[in-house]
Structure 1
Amino acid sequence: MSLRPSARTEVRRNRYKVAVDAEEGRRRREDYMVEIRKSKREESLLKKRREGLQLQQQQFSTSLQSAVEKKVLFF
């Protein structure tokens, strides 16, 4: 009841547990890449928002100072 060498290797191959099949691995990689892209996009948006907020604060303080100076000059 000896099997051919190719059949023996096939039997052995089928007995081993496959950790991750190709489809599952591909799906995981794609999901991981999507998460990375989303996080980078979110970081970039937060950075732009912070820069915009800082610019608005600087403009507000500058306009406030000029308004105070104008009032001081009138009195």
Structure 2
Amino acid sequence: MLIELAGVQKRYGQVAALAGLDAEIDGQVIGLLGPNGAGKSTLLKSLLGLTSFKGKARVLGLDPGSESFRIRDRVGYMPEMDS
């Protein structure tokens, strides 16, 4: 499995950027689309271990909380603007 998410949550104060996200994604190329403020960047940063979150996630079988460097060795991330 490429990405596994179970109850992933991230809040910025009172705002829920990710609210109980559950998903299993298996594939080679993934597109993430949505309006501003939908949580796209927050999800990517969470999966790469660049920000903390609640819930469980695995990327390429690795835990973003404890194995973020191993994930970043294998995954490319290039935001349009560094926020």
Which TM-score tier does this pair reach, normalised by the shorter chain? under 0.3
Q: TM-score, normalised by structure 1?
A: 0.23
Higher RCO (CA-CA < 8 Å; seq separation 6+): 2
**Structure (1 or 2) with the greater strand fraction:** 2
